[in-house]
A and B are shown apart, each in its own frame.
Chain A
Amino acid sequence: MIKLKNVIKEYRNETVVTMAVDDVNFDIAEGEFVAIIGASGSGKSTLTHIMAFLDRPSSGVYQFRDNSINDLSDDQLARIRNKEMGFVFQSFALLPRTTIFENVKLPLIYTGLSQKKINKMTKQAIESTGLSHRSNYFTNQLSGGEQQRTAIARAIVNNPSVIFADEPTGNLDSKSGQQILEILQKLNDKGHTIILVTHEKYTSEMAKRIIEMKDGKIIRDEKITNRKYAKKGLIK
């Protein structure tokens, strides 16, 4: 589903060229649970932004299904993000002074679906993250964990094939963080591809595959076969 070939992202200012992503090659198949790990500044976020169609590579080829990023306009990228991708951010990125329902609904208002269908899908997404009883609460009335669950509901409301989670547990206590990871796990079991970006080791241990980055390069790309061990590692 995801194919990266010689992907390079460089940032230039007058004197220095910084290679944020340096000649990266890998594929991700449908249904995988991939953790991209690395220290801050390793290029994992930039790489994820490219994979999520939020940024364009300086050179190289990135294909999502049959779509090559180089052939698509910004609006076409937005359309694919809207249909195929879900996003969970470290800072939750919820709209202030707005209810859970309105927040979760957000991606759907850009789809052109009927109001009835939008409401139905929104309800389902809220239900699947266990927030139905708080659907009309404003986001500032929620705990961090609930806010992130709202963000996950928003990420899955359009039934995306891939969910990008950028440090989803970074702002949470470990118990809430664990709940979030369990939800991601369940989503993966249902067939969603999960791409989890993290610098915390324990967060990555739920993944079936770990890609580790350093200075823009991939230094490890490993499939975890013994998931039971991985799960144990999580429960301290």
Chain B
Amino acid sequence: MKFIDYLQTAINSLKANKIRAVLTMLGIIIGIASVVTIISLGSGVKNLIVGQIMSMGSNTIFVEPGSFNTEQKSSMMQSMTEGMTIKTLKYDDALAIEKHPDIDMTAPFVNGVARMVYKNTNKKITFMGATPNARKIDAAYPILGRGITESDVKSMARVVDLGYNVRKELFGDENPIGKTVRIKNINFKVVGVTEEQGSQMFMNLDDIVYVPLTTAQKLLLGQDYINWIVARATNENKIDNAVEDIRLILREKHNIYNPENDLGKDDFKIMSQKETANMLSTITDIFTVFLSAVASIALLVGGIGIMNIMLVSVSERTKEIGLRKAVGAKRKDILYQFLAEALLLTFLGGIIGIILGIIFSYIGGIVIEEMLGTKWIFIISFKAIALAFGVSTIIGVIFGIFPARKAADLNPIEALRYE
């Protein structure tokens, strides 16, 4: 019996039970579509994150409070909680780092969330306490008025520089310059509006307002420490040296005796842009793998469904199997016939699943673009498609072989007698 005959028989058999075939395929379709969508969206998110981080300039360095736990270097939760409780990072540290010859500028930050009130309207905003360098590093320029100045920081001025959306929502077309808004019941004078910037790292920069660092520390947060420092090296090649030097500067300032250079002993951690990008892309990869594994459960269930239906099909067609054997079908002819049917089911399911997966990832991309306001790059990974094909074929073989063997091992006389 030739391949084309197996295929023809399989097609005829599926055609005879169209609804059953479609329902059986559903499990595979859902599984494959989910895996393709997840992998596709996962690589899109990864590109987005890495792209955004790199677009901030590959010569930036982040200094955060907390320490590297050498065993779980990238535990985000840990760094987040430590960042809130460790209070050793100060404005002074930023100024000291800035003196290093390889460092172009530093920007210390504090941040918090509050409601901003203007007349009868209010909006939940993230406020950043910063110095003028913050906007310089972001390369974001005012479209109205001015940004935060050195003298604002020195005089602890109650002034605010609005993000693009904040202005739009609170003021509409009205000119906000010189108007008074309230944050945590404190009056601030609007001095500027910054140009539209879009999202970065799942945070819409246009929803943020900037106030002078000192004002935020004393009046809004009541803290004397800072939450992080962004430093910009003069040159990308100087980064590795600069990172080492910043370590020494901060250890000296924080009185940490650490000649063995044990990062676990420090109360701060330093990450270059590249390291951050690598870390986040690793996290995205882990998420993608994890979600795909969950989606694969649908594939497993789908495979069992196929086995189930194939077993039904074998017992329904016992007489046909007996006849085929009587007229000369060998064991392997029957085996391949039923295997071909299972494979055809998973193969068709795989193709439909891949097509749906592509459609879903496309829609998902549009939704993310809408939600984050960023440019989404639609990625269809051929690796994911090849994987989906491979997996559905393997499922066909694994779950098809048992019913097919059952069919092939039938005794022709008993099969013919079967009613």
Contacts and interface: CB of A to CB of B under 8 A. Distances in A.
Contact of B12 (A93, A97, A154): A97
A52, A78, A107 pick with most chain B CB within 10 angstroms: A78
A78 B331 CA distance: 9
B412 A110 contact: no
A110 B329 contact: yes
A217 interface: no
Contacts of B331: 74-75, 78
Nearest to A92: B323
5 contacts: A54-B326, A54-B412, A79-B330, A93-B322, A109-B1
Given A54-B413, A106-B324, A110-B1, A97 B330 contact: no
A79 B328 contact: yes
A112 B333 CA distance: 12
B5 interface: yes
Interface string B1-13: 1100100000010
A106 B416 contact: no
B327 A89 contact: no
Interface string A66-89: 000000001100110111000101
B325 interface: yes
Contact of B330 (A89, A98, A110): A110
B319 A78 contact: no
A8 B132 CA distance: 105
B16 interface: yes
A204 to B, nearest CB: 22
Nearest to A164: B326
Contact of B329 (A52, A78, A89): A78
A81 B327 contact: yes
Contact of A154 (B1, B16, B327): B327
Given A54-B412, A96-B16, 13 more contacts: A79-B328, A79-B330, A87-B327, A89-B416, A93-B322, A95-B323, A97-B16, A106-B327, A109-B1, A109-B2, A110-B327, A154-B327, A158-B328
B325, B326, B330, B333 pick with most chain A CB within 10 angstroms: B326
Contacts of B1: 109-110, 112
B413 A55 contact: yes
A214 interface: no
Contact of B328 (A49, A82, A95, A98): A82
A150 B322 CA distance: 18
Contacts of A82: 327-328
B325, B331, B332, B412 pick with most chain A CB within 10 angstroms: B412
Contacts of B327: 81-82, 87, 106-107, 110, 154
A75 B319 CA distance: 19
Interface string A96-120: 1110000000110111100000000
Contact of A78 (B320, B328, B413): B328
B416 A93 contact: yes
Interface in B362-390: none
Interface in A147-165: 154, 158
A70 to B, nearest CB: 18
B330 A78 contact: yes
Interface in B14-60: 16
A200 B117 CA distance: 103
Contacts of B412: 54
Given A49-B413, A93-B319, A107 B12 contact: no
B323 to A, nearest CB: 5
A54 B320 CA distance: 15
Given A55-B413, A110-B1, A81 B12 contact: no
Nearest to B319: A93
A109 B413 CA distance: 21
